[in-house]
């Protein structure tokens, strides 16, 4: 069962169109820094 993450430890990984993207160091989720909404990340799909 996954443990809810508060995303307290993040690092900026990219900036695009004035938006900072941050990655949570704990759960590796990618967010927009402004609202911490999950962002679709391109990963290997087959």
By CB under 5 A, name the binding residues for Zn ion.
5, 7, 24, 26-27
CB of 6 to Zn ion, least distance (A): 7
Cβ-based nearer residue to Zn ion, 19 or 25:
25
Cβ-based nearer residue to Zn ion, 6 or 17:
6
In whole angstroms, how far apart are CA 40 and each of 1, 3, 22, 24?
22, 20, 12, 14
Cβ-based nearer residue to Zn ion, 3 or 17:
3
Dihedral, 29, 22, 33, 18 alpha carbons, nearest 10? -130
């Amino acid at each position: 069962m996954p443990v809810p993450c508060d995303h307290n430890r993040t690092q900026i990984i990219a900036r695009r169109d004035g938006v900072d993207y941050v990655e949570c160091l704990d759960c590796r989720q990618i967010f927009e820094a402004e609202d911490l909404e999950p962002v679709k990340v391109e990963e290997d799909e087959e």
